[in-house]
Structure 1
Amino acid sequence: AEYVVIACGVWSPRIAEMAGANIPLTPAVHQMADVGPIDILQQSNAEVAYPIIRDMDTFCYERQTAGSMEVGSYAHRPIFMHPNDIPSNEESALSPTELPLTQDDFDPQMEQAIELMEMLGDAEIKYAINGLLSLTPDAMPVLGETPEVKNLWSAAAVWIKEGPGIAQLVAEWMTYGYPHLCDPHSSDISRFYPHEKTEHHIYARCAEHFNKTYGIVHPREQWASQRNMRRSPFYAREEALGATFFDARGWERPQWFASNAKLMDKFKDACQPREHEWDARWWSPISNAEHLQMRESVGMVDLTAFNEFDFTGPGALGFLQYMCVNNVDVKVGGSVYTPLLTPGGGFRGDLTIMRLGEQHFRVITGAFDGGRDKYWFTRHMPTDGSVTFTDMSSSLCTIGVWGPNAEKTMAKATQNIDAEGKLVAYDVSQANFPYGSVREVLIDGVPCWMFRISYVGENGWEVYTKMEHGLRLWDSIAEAGKEFGIIPVGMGVYAVTGRIEKGYRLMGAELESEYNPVEAGLARPKVKSADFIGKAEYLKARDEKPAAIMCTLEVLDHTSKSGIKRFPTGGNEPILTKDGERIVDAKGRVSRVTTAGAAPSLGKYLLLAYLTPEHAVEGNELRVMYMNELFPVRVARVGSQPLFDPTDARMKS
């Protein structure tokens, strides 16, 4: 067959392995018992007369099946089985996925079910099993073409309630090259990095999240298992500075630094704690202090979790032109920001490209996007040998240096070799080193690439070097910036506060395959003549009125009914009209928060969201629903223009 779809449930890894592919899931036990007969249910004379009950406190459910009640539990200990150990039909008393109940595991759950529904206590257990279902390391399905084998598709780790929708999604994906139904990035099989597909990682993560199946998981919740898998060369310095690390596909990334707590006195008004524990969870007011100190002086950010892909060869330019929306044919030492599109014109990727030579391009993409972007590029590469792909991600480390004193810091840190072979200070001024340009320089003898760009709205650079030079680079920049007040800055600034003040979009949040560059405010005045994936649909979108427009909203009043101030977390909270009605665009997409965060430089709390044209009007008042309460918000900006430094003067002058 030309195409094969593996939709084999708990057997999927075994089938994939036959073809040389890896579907990262494990069969896991879910205990279930059929209890009955129950008089009140038999009297209903219906297959289903009562609603399904989910007891979130005990992680159990009760579901009517005619005259009986099915009791299921996710509260017992995690019990896994290797796919190769699933018994055959001949070995199974019932079916291969219906194993004998381990009574000791189920007894506490049955007692809790009886406490909730006393009628269960008078009935018998007619049928009870350790049933097998599929679990993945991040509790999401595994969908899409396998990276290892072309035309071999996965539709695995799909539970019954999701089956019809996912079948439609995968069918559309295979037919059109992208699904119409919704953006699949969180379920895309290519999201996994190699270490995440090992049995050790699968079992550890599944053991951690199994008992959270009915749990309440915070949008910023961090994994406890499988930590310290990937560390930057700066880790020891960051740990000594009191970094709180968040996991980013195995990388340990500092979110904020305890060493900066003293700055909260300096910026007291902007660093107030959040009263409600939920809003304060996985957050610190230190991030706001780091933000303001960076805006005032200079900060350094660990960006080692970036993915770097090198494309070289005579066909590299033509290939990247076909893959990317914007013109990649810039001068050597230049760069371009560009989206990648699906054939339908929606977002497939979001990245920057540096041109390091006539036939040498380096793609920079985010920590969470590397697997998907690598798959997308390599799947489309020409087969004539004209393009060579090299994954540099484990070879390079990166430090971001930004702020009004970034130029002074790097002027002190950098050197170069002049025409006479002498080591001299390098001219890092905007005149010699303009925004968007890349230069090879020495920093304390360390060969580096300095890329003048910013995701936080400040003057500065991303500085790249080889991993083995990383610690020396960190120490050299820190020493050079000491007299200018340099501090370490966490991802709370880079990914949230600095970004949201500038209205910068994020792949997987604002940028999804359901939306196009026109709606996101990223359409440039002209479209390049070269063909590229999604061009026809993109041109069509440019000629039409957008169904939705990305906007920046400010929260006007945080006060809840209880009097406590609440702060939306950016967990897809609905944006509603003043009357509390849903906002749905012409394509059936609901307005929701894509990013939420403080804007310390502005003294505001901002939200990003797509709105319909009639609601996307500056000054228009709407509502955000958070924890089942409505809070007033106002449209502060429509489109790409940011609230902070709208002319980009801080970055480019």
Structure 2
Amino acid sequence: MPNLPTQARVVIIGGGVVGCSVAYHLTKLGWTDVVLLERKQLTSGTTWHAAGLIGQLRATANMTKLARYSAELYTGLELETGVATGFRQVGSVSVALTEERLEELYRNAAMARAFGVPVEELSPKDVKDRYEHLNIDGVSGGVWLPTDGQADPANIALALAKGARQRGAVVQERVSVSNIARNGSRVTAIDWQSEDGTQGHITCEAVVNCAGMWGHQVGRMAGVNVPLHACEHFYIVSEPIPGLTQLPVLRVPDECAYYKEDAGKIMLGAFEPVSKPWGMNGIPKDFEFDQLPEDFDHFEPILEMAVNRMPMLAEAGIHTFFNGPESFTPDDAYHLGLAPGTDNVWVATGFNSIGIQSAGGAGHALSLWMDSGEKPFDLGDVDIARMQPFQGNKTYLFERSKETLGLLYADHFPYRQKATARGIRRTPFHEHLKAQGAVFGELAGWERANWFADDGQERDYRYSWKRQNWFENAAREHKAVRENVGMYDMSSFGKLRIEGADAEHFLNRLSGANMSVPTGKIVYTQMLNTGGGIEADITVTRLSETAYLVVTPAATQLADETRLRRHLGTDRVTITDMTAAEGVLAVMGPNARSLLQKVSPNDFSNRANPFGTAQDIELGMGLARAHRVSYVGELGWEIYVGTDMAAHAFETLWEAGQDLGLKLCGMHMMDSCRIEKAFRHFGHDITPEDNVIDAGLGFAVDLTKPDFIGKAAVAARKDTGPKTRMVQFLLNDPEPLLYHNEPLLRDGEIVGYLSSGAYGHHLGAAVGMGYVPCQGETAAQLLASSYEIDVMGTRVPAQASLKPLYDPKAERTRA
């Protein structure tokens, strides 16, 4: 019979490696009254059959930092707990069979240098030297990461659990959570039931969902959305191979395969392009250390390629054919953080087959977040608040999961779009844009026109690390906006109506800029954290004495709404998501005013409608609201129109624009124009880690207004001067392309990396943005240095600027 307390500070649900890590790290911070409940036995869900690969390099600097933390933690766990983790730093080799994959690997190698991860590019001969058993026919090159390794997954979890117990945590097996009691936005208690039929009740201050592939189900129990789906994951283990000694981990992503030597045997695992979802009707209640039925036909194509690539597999027998489930999220990033709509339901689940290498860092980050109430650093990639409500739909998850497992080893081309579960959220202009040749991408479920195909041109992406098939299309769209007039759909951007007697006070408390402005004024601002870091990048339009419209990026609409709701306090305010209520057409370019004057009797002059103001207008035979603001650095307006009149508004503008040469444009154009103007992109250039002064956005903060979140930190940084500065870079060579994370060199030394990159069609070369450390330096000293960008191992000289390289005085937007 379990001996469980009746109250706890936190209850952790799930005893896999992640749940054990959360318990370990919370107790390390001094938390007491920590209870971890495991429905069966520790590690019995998916941890026990994980491959245990420990990679150091991830897609972003912070994810890399967390992966490296995991490796360091596992190294010391055995000394602390006496439980062997089996961690061995054997290194890893990744090989390419195509030139495109080689560019990806070499770009990753450059990124590794920027993140401080040891790395070495390999020729085919070097690959053979590092991994003698490999058939290098068709191999174009590779990458060596000496600090990568492998470990025993189950023992890591058991060591973490022991460490938590040693500091007072209660870790109880064979007890499942039967109910989660919730009062408003807070969970108050959980009910539990043991296998022997004993039942109990624990009141608690917080719950952490670490339930792995049960995470979706446990989320529903707590009233929160945790989108993930289980898929079958296959590997084989060979019979012992005579003379086989320790080898690096080997990845051959072009053949969907990874290889690991363990005790003289070879494990071959696969991430096949079309996977097999599992558990559509829920995970069986008695699932414990279970395997799924073999499906040799499904695995056979991978094995055929592997036998050719690793000839010794042809001689060795198969000792084990294993099929076990893993959980996958809609975007292949795990879920971490405080669940939207709640004040105390935390999530750490959905680890997409990288749970072992992620668990240490994820538990560390979540514990710091829970302890302080604020993210310890930028976790936007994995923050559960990025998930949209519809993404919990079972049919959606089933369809998307067929693709996400395979994407782990697919070519990670820039601008790659998901192919499954598409067409769910469409703007009011979708069919009009489609009829004109739009090629759509997807963000937060929204179908967005990314570029427009010419007549007779294929309406699809052809991916590459070089110039893709839409490069010239986007260049023409860019030219239209810079020289004439273009129109694009911004309906997917989030729109939150803030209304009530205290709306002005509320927004003044939450944002850096002053919201005490006249009706019709548009304010650009940021929501800050207590450290002066940027939690949201928004525009706020005052609609009336008591109402404002907050416009947010599509990807962060839910996160921004969640932040606003969590800080309501006693202010008399209502928050309404208006995103789907209005369509938005951006009309941008030197002839934007001429177009609007053709379709509306309203006055669009500087006198009547200066930059940064909005007005209600007549448009054709309907009504709309025109916001004079621009994210592309040109004269222009964003036209907000009710969805009932959206089609009419589009047709009216499109027809009137024919005489002017109006061109429909997409999101790729918007990105290339904004980077020429050095406009920051939230999530890349500005994050919760970036002080608003360092980001060059001090102009958007009013330190004279009463107290607001982050005010003291901003004032302090303004006094000391920036520690680092956001700098814009233009490559001297027009050929190379920039995306993000390319190393940034100052006077020959790596000092950082690009936070974003795109091609500047007007400036004539790729443009990047990135932070350069500059504490104690003047702007002149910073710019006196020489700068280079490392593009796939080649250092390309670049021009650096603190002012926008395009229209530095913003004369065009105010024309």
Give the C-alpha shift of residue 76 in structure 1: 7.0
Report the CA distance shift for 1:475/1:319 in structure 2 as closer, same or farther (over 3 A).
Answer: same
Measured in 1, the distance between the counterparts of 2:308 and 2:763 equals 53
Measured in 2, the distance between the counterparts of 1:434 and 1:202 equals 46
Report the CA distance shift for 1:576/1:392 in structure 2 as closer, same or farther (over 3 A).
Answer: same
Q: Which amino acid aligns with 2:278?
A: M
Q: Deviations over 1:454-513 (max 9, x none)?
A: 11111121110101101111122223333333222222222x222112110011110111
From 211, 214, 217, the counterpart of 2:406:
211
From 741, 750, 772, the counterpart of 1:572:
741
Report the CA distance shift for 1:526/1:313 in structure 2 as closer, same or farther (over 3 A).
Answer: closer
Secondary structure of residue in 2 paired with 1:109? helix
Pair 1:646-2:808 in alignment: yes
Deviates more, 1:321-330 or 1:523-532: 523-532
Give the C-alpha shift of residue 18 in structure 1: 1.4
Q: Deviations over 1:534-559 (max 9, x none)?
A: 2232222222342321111111125x
Secondary structure of residue in 1 paired with 2:783? coil
Q: Which amino acid aligns with 1:73?
A: A
Q: What pairs up with 1:628-643 in 2 under 5 angstroms? A: 628-635=793-800, 637-638=801-802, 641-643=803-805
Q: Which amino acid aligns with 1:107?
A: E
Q: Which amino acid aligns with 2:549?
A: R
Give the C-alpha shift of residue 21 in structure 1: 1.5
**Counterpart in the other structure of 1:338:** 525
**Counterpart in the other structure of 1:289:** 476
Deviates more, 1:389-398 or 1:227-236: 227-236
Give the C-alpha shift of residue 88 in structure 1: 4.1
Q: Deviations over 1:64-96 (max 9, x none)?
A: 22232222111274122227643344x65xx14
Report the CA distance shift for 1:260/1:295 in structure 2 as closer, same or farther (over 3 A).
Answer: farther
**Counterpart in the other structure of 1:16:** 219
Q: Deviations over 1:384-431 (max 9, x none)?
A: 7x11111110110001112222122222222xxxxxxxxxx3221101
From 759, 767, 770, the counterpart of 1:606:
767
**Counterpart in the other structure of 1:409:** 595
Give the C-alpha shift of residue 14 in structure 1: 1.9
From 580, 588, 592, the counterpart of 2:753:
592
Report the CA distance shift for 1:202/1:369 in structure 2 as closer, same or farther (over 3 A).
Answer: same
From 632, 636, 649, the counterpart of 1:473:
649
Pair 1:3-2:173 in alignment: no
**Counterpart in the other structure of 1:74:** 271
Contact 1:298 1:485 in 2 (8 A): yes
Measured in 2, the distance between the counterparts of 1:493 and 1:24 equals 31
Which runs of 5 or more structure 2 residues have no equivalent in the other structure? 1-203
Report the CA distance shift for 1:282/1:86 in structure 2 as closer, same or farther (over 3 A).
Answer: farther
Measured in 1, the distance between the counterparts of 2:237 and 2:366 equals 33
**Counterpart in the other structure of 1:196:** 391
Measured in 1, the distance between the counterparts of 2:808 and 2:361 equals 42
From 253, 262, 277, the counterpart of 1:65:
262
**Counterpart in the other structure of 2:554:** 367
Secondary structure of residue in 2 paired with 1:520? coil
Deviates more, 1:233-242 or 1:308-317: 233-242
Secondary structure of residue in 2 paired with 1:477? helix
**Counterpart in the other structure of 2:538:** 351
Contact 1:100 1:128 in 2 (8 A): no
Q: What pairs up with 1:387-426 in 2 under 5 angstroms? A: 387-414=573-600, 425-426=601-602
**Counterpart in the other structure of 1:152:** 345
Measured in 2, the distance between the counterparts of 1:138 and 1:350 equals 23
Report the CA distance shift for 1:566/1:382 in structure 2 as closer, same or farther (over 3 A).
Answer: same
Q: What pairs up with 1:218-229 in 2 under 5 angstroms? A: 218-229=413-424
Measured in 2, the distance between the counterparts of 1:131 and 1:626 equals 39
Report the CA distance shift for 1:294/1:116 in structure 2 as closer, same or farther (over 3 A).
Answer: closer
Measured in 2, the distance between the counterparts of 1:391 and 1:652 equals 30
Report the CA distance shift for 1:106/1:321 in structure 2 as closer, same or farther (over 3 A).
Answer: same
Give the C-alpha shift of residue 205 in structure 1: 1.8
Secondary structure of residue in 2 paired with 1:650? coil
Q: What pairs up with 1:98-497 in 2 under 5 angstroms? A: 98-158=291-351, 159-180=355-376, 182-259=377-454, 277-281=464-468, 283-382=470-569, 386-414=572-600, 425-494=601-670, 496-497=671-672
Give the C-alpha shift of residue 642 in structure 1: 1.0
**Counterpart in the other structure of 1:527:** 703
Secondary structure of residue in 2 paired with 1:137? coil
Report the CA distance shift for 1:26/1:149 in structure 2 as closer, same or farther (over 3 A).
Answer: same
Deviates more, 1:223-232 or 1:364-373: 223-232
Measured in 1, the distance between the counterparts of 2:603 and 2:489 equals 24
From 500, 507, 514, the counterpart of 2:675:
500
Measured in 2, the distance between the counterparts of 1:59 and 1:36 equals 22
State the superposition RMSD in angstroms: 2.4
Report the CA distance shift for 1:578/1:59 in structure 2 as closer, same or farther (over 3 A).
Answer: farther
Measured in 2, the distance between the counterparts of 1:577 and 1:644 equals 23
Report the CA distance shift for 1:229/1:366 in structure 2 as closer, same or farther (over 3 A).
Answer: same
Q: Which amino acid aligns with 2:810?
A: D
Contact 2:341 2:562 in 1 (8 A): no
Contact 2:513 2:702 in 1 (8 A): no
Q: Which amino acid aligns with 2:678?
A: G
Pair 1:40-2:278 in alignment: no
Q: Deviations over 1:578-634 (max 9, x none)?
A: 53x421xxxxxxx22222223333334311111122797336332222233322222
Q: Which amino acid aligns with 2:392?
A: K
Task: Count how many residue pairs are aligned between Structure 1 and Structure 2.
Answer: 600
From 270, 284, 291, the counterpart of 1:87:
284
Q: Which amino acid aligns with 2:252?
A: D
Contact 1:76 1:106 in 2 (8 A): no
Q: Which amino acid aligns with 1:409?
A: L
Scaled by the length of structure 1, the TM-score of the pair is: 0.87
Secondary structure of residue in 1 paired with 2:506? helix
Q: Which amino acid aligns with 2:213?
A: V
Report the CA distance shift for 1:404/1:116 in structure 2 as closer, same or farther (over 3 A).
Answer: closer
Measured in 2, the distance between the counterparts of 1:383 and 1:16 equals 29
Give the C-alpha shift of residue 106 in structure 1: 2.9
**Counterpart in the other structure of 1:420:** none
Which runs of 5 or more structure 1 residues have no equivalent in the other structure? 263-274, 415-424, 559-564, 584-590
Report the CA distance shift for 1:219/1:177 in structure 2 as closer, same or farther (over 3 A).
Answer: farther
Q: Which amino acid aligns with 1:460?
A: G
Secondary structure of residue in 1 paired with 2:261? strand
Report the CA distance shift for 1:489/1:607 in structure 2 as closer, same or farther (over 3 A).
Answer: same
Measured in 1, the distance between the counterparts of 2:538 and 2:484 equals 27
Report the CA distance shift for 1:312/1:649 in structure 2 as closer, same or farther (over 3 A).
Answer: same
Give the C-alpha shift of residue 337 in structure 1: 0.5
Report the CA distance shift for 1:120/1:598 in structure 2 as closer, same or farther (over 3 A).
Answer: closer
Q: Which amino acid aligns with 2:663?
A: I
Give the C-alpha shift of residue 109 in structure 1: 2.9
Contact 1:220 1:282 in 2 (8 A): no
Measured in 1, the distance between the counterparts of 2:474 and 2:301 equals 43
Contact 1:77 1:105 in 2 (8 A): no
Secondary structure of residue in 1 paired with 2:471? coil
Q: Which amino acid aligns with 1:502?
A: K
Q: Deviations over 1:625-649 (max 9, x none)?
A: 22333222221x12xx211111111
